[in-house]
Amino acid sequence: MTGAAETAIEAAGQSAAGRNAEALRAAERAENLSVAALAAPGLALIGLIVIVPIGWLFWMSFRNAQGFTLEHYERLLLPTYTLSLQTTFELSVLVTLICIVLAYPIAYIMTQTGRRMTAVLLTLVLFPIWTSLLVRCYAWLVLLQRRGVVNTWLEDAGLIEQPLRIMHNFTGTTIGMVHIMLPFMVLPLYASMRAIDRDYMRAAANLGASPVRAFWQVFVPLSLPGLFAGIIIVFVLCLGFYVTPALLGGGRVMMWSMQIERNVTYHADWGAASALGVVLLAMTLAILWGVGRLIGFNRIVGGR
């Protein structure tokens, strides 16, 4: 008798618990949905201004007056475009390599100086990011022009006879781009180096490694995630870069992005421009995706 009553009460309790759990889950879903909705206005704006036009460009890249076509993509095989693709990659690789060489020492020293000195160095690295891109391009134009500061000083010092041609060409573009990209290499490198436990270096020294060996065999491998993140950021930014090559290249450095601009502004050729744009976006996403698989996407963007 008592047994049956207990069972009945228990069953009632369980079904009440079940109902409660159901209600709780529903409430949680509703709650989740309502907070997620807060992201909606921002998402809608991004959808309208970034995603819709890109979809449209994608559509146009396959269309001509007759309908579906691949002619815009076939045209990308012309020497003008393949050459400019080559220039884009050469410049991006070169700038990335120089950035690695310049960023590593400064990030390394930043992890070893006192707190105040590190703060000073960090501010100096951040300063270019906060300075207008055009101001920095202008500075390089002034410095590198034929009768510019660099040439005048080198001539006065008797190091050169003729002014060097370092502006409006590949060299000038490279210098300007390195200047723009360097902070984006230093910051992830520094973040990753700062997280390295110094005990590893002590242990290496303790086990008889010379400072140089400890550096190459212990420190460098541990800093690789930051280095990869920096490489990806810099390389991807270089691929689509427009302003600096357009100003410092003086028309002699034809980047992929400049071909896009030309096709729109001079020829109003949306087929070619959109095909070029689709290829640029595909390259960018492929690199991000590939490396994201390798080291984790969040590491690159520094998100959660």
The minimum distance between CB 199 and other proteins, in angstroms, equals 8
Nearer to other proteins, 37 or 93 (CB): 37
The minimum distance between CB 222 and other proteins, in angstroms, equals 13
The minimum distance between CB 14 and other proteins, in angstroms, equals 27
The minimum distance between CB 224 and other proteins, in angstroms, equals 19
In contact, 188 and 231? CB cutoff 8 Å: no
Nearer to other proteins, 226 or 260 (CB): 260
Nearer to other proteins, 69 or 145 (CB): 145
Closest CA to 91 of 203, 286, 263, 235: 235
End-to-end Cα distance, the chain: 58
> Exposed, middle or buried, 116 (CB in 10 Å: 0-12/13-18/19+)?
exposed
The minimum distance between CB 10 and other proteins, in angstroms, equals 31
Closest CA to 285 of 42, 49, 58: 58
Nearer to other proteins, 144 or 225 (CB): 144
Nearer to other proteins, 11 or 50 (CB): 50
In contact, 84 and 254? CB cutoff 8 Å: yes
Sign of the dihedral defined by the CA atoms of residues 92, 93, 96, 101, in that order: negative
Lookup: tokens for 302: 């520094």
The minimum distance between CB 125 and other proteins, in angstroms, equals 7
Closest CA to 136 of 178, 85, 78: 178
In contact, 253 and 169? CB cutoff 8 Å: yes
Nearer to other proteins, 16 or 282 (CB): 282
Nearer to other proteins, 57 or 226 (CB): 57
Nearer to other proteins, 194 or 198 (CB): 198
The minimum distance between CB 213 and other proteins, in angstroms, equals 9
Neighbouring residues of 226: CB distance < 8 A, sequence distance ≥ 6: 107, 188, 189, 190, 191, 192, 193
Instruction: Quickly list H helices, the chain.
Output: 2-36, 40-46, 52-60, 71-75, 79-110, 115-130, 133-144, 149-156, 170-194, 198-206, 211-214, 220-239, 243-248, 256-265, 270-295, 297-301
The minimum distance between CB 77 and other proteins, in angstroms, equals 21
